[in-house]
Structure 1
Amino acid sequence: MSTFLTQLPALLGVLVGTLGTILATSLADRARWRRSQNVRWDERRLDAYVEYAHAIKESHAVALRMTADHRPGSHSHPIDRDDGLARLAEADARRTIVWENLLLLGDEPTVVAAAGWRDAVWQVERLARGIVESPPDISEMLTRVNEARDGYYRAARRSLGVRGGSVEQSAALRQALLERSAPASDVRAS
């Protein structure tokens, strides 16, 4: 019995060491698994954000081509109405599909910003489809689209932890739009 008692501290030390190793290994494995899951979902979230942006830009580009005659100084290549309507329908189907991925994987601020961008583009599409009359100042409608796009990218970058400063373009695009729509004599004077 005395031999057992003398070896008991060593046995307890081995037991505590074994339990400590198991616990440390388990915690490290769990942390590694969480990191890999976060990377996996961040990659999928990035794909969903990019796919949604492509789908919205496709709809917007077709709508711009269809409304080129409503925008003096437009650089968009006009498109036949029937062809444009068919392309809008295809783009709308794609946008609907990628919207579901965005709803599944996006965070709330990004989904809200995406809906705002979609709504702004819908206004241009409604004009392209002939549902609404051309507003007196279509540049305001296009500015809303550009500002909504900036909001979407701001939210998506924040969601993904992307740093690097602002990538907003609405102010520069608005200025370019104003310069294109201003009479040549006004542009030379500035």
Structure 2
Amino acid sequence: MDLVGQLVTIAAVLLGAVTTYITNHLMERNKHKLGLRTRWDEKKLDAYADYVGKIRSSGYAAVLLYEVREGMRTLPRTEQDLAEGLTDAVGDQSLAFERVMLLAGDAVIDAAHGVQEAMAAITWQARGTTEGTLEEWRALHTKLFTAINRFHERARADLGVSGAFLGDQHSARGLLLPENRGKDGSITS
């Protein structure tokens, strides 16, 4: 073989080696990026689910306090104990909100702020900080559930979950709140 043929062969082998190296490097880099994205998506999912769970716990604590304070329910716990339970639940909720703030994108954070505002209005009325009728109390819960559904929609989009979540239809299913009762315990409209 002449010198030119040998140089062409060596150049082809070097080109093949460089191409293989670059291809392997890019594949490993993409694999690493995918692994990081998957890990962060798992952390986001955990944070989003934990946040909604803490919101629901705060809501439940607020309902108990409100119903006892308004004389709609009697419990072996005092109003002070229930208020402390609500304070603890709201504290846990605040920590979960901070995790969302650290991991989420703007759309999810904006939706979480809407949830926080709606939950704050409920806790204020539950504590008696703000006054309102039972219908206004129910309206606050409707607003909260609408905000939670918006949060779910934004979180699903952030996580790349396919499918449609029809929040308005979901919210129309009704709230699980007590019916209006008169002082004698009878159901009123």
**Counting helix residues as a fraction of each chain, which structure ranks higher?**
1
Residue 86 of structure 2 corresponds to which residue in structure 1?
88
Query: Which amino acid in structure 2 is aligned with residue 123 of structure 1?
Result: A
CA RMSD after TM alignment: 2.7
Query: For each residue in 1:50-72, what CA deviation from the matched residue of structure 2 results, as whole angstroms up to 9, or x when unmatched?
Result: 11111111111100111125889
Residue 27 of structure 1 corresponds to: 26
**Deviation by residue 1:127-183 (Cα, 9 ceiling, x = unmatched):** 111111123622211211111111111111111112243263321115x769x4499
TM-score (norm 1): 0.83
Bigger shift: residues 36-45 or 82-91: 82-91
Q: Quick one: distance in 2 between partners of 1:107 and 1:77?
A: 43
Whole-angstrom distance in 2 between the partners of 1:149 and 1:96: 15
Given residue 30 of structure 1, which amino acid in structure 2 is its aligned partner?
A: R
Structure 1, unpaired ranges of 5+: none
For normalisation by structure 2, the TM-score amounts to 0.83
Paired amino acid for 2:174: L
Written as runs of structure 1 = structure 2, the 5 A alignment for 1:124-143 is: 124-135=122-133, 137=135, 138-143=137-142
Determine the C-alpha separation between the residues in 2 that align with 1:38 and 1:172.
35
Identity rate, percent: 25
Q: Give the whole-Å Cα distance in 2 for the aligned partners of 1:106 and 1:77.
A: 40
> Could you tell me which amino acid in structure 2 is paired with residue 129 of structure 1?
R
**Is the contact between residue 70 and residue 134 of structure 1 (CA under 8 Å) also seen in structure 2?**
no
Structure 2's unaligned 5+ residue stretches are: none
Task: From the superposition, tell whether residues 77 and 172 of structure 1 become closer, same or farther in structure 2 (CA, over 3 Å).
Answer: farther
Residue 64 of structure 1 aligns with which residue? 63
**Are positions 1:160 and 2:159 aligned together?**
yes
Work out whether residues 85 and 129 of structure 1, in 8 Å CA contact, stay in contact via their aligned partners in 2.
yes
Between 63-72 and 102-111, report the one with greater CA deviation. Answer: 63-72
Cα distance between partner residues in 2 of 1:5 and 1:13: 12
- Residue 4 of structure 1 deviates from its aligned partner by 3.2
**Residues 1:24 and 1:34: Cα distance change in structure 2 (over 3 Å):** same
Residue type of the alignment partner of 1:146:
F
Structure 2 residue matching 1:17: 3-state secondary structure: helix
Contact 2:142 2:171 in 1 (8 A): yes
Distance 1:98 1:160 in 2: 18
Distance in structure 1 (CA, Å) of the matches to 2:165 and 2:111: 16
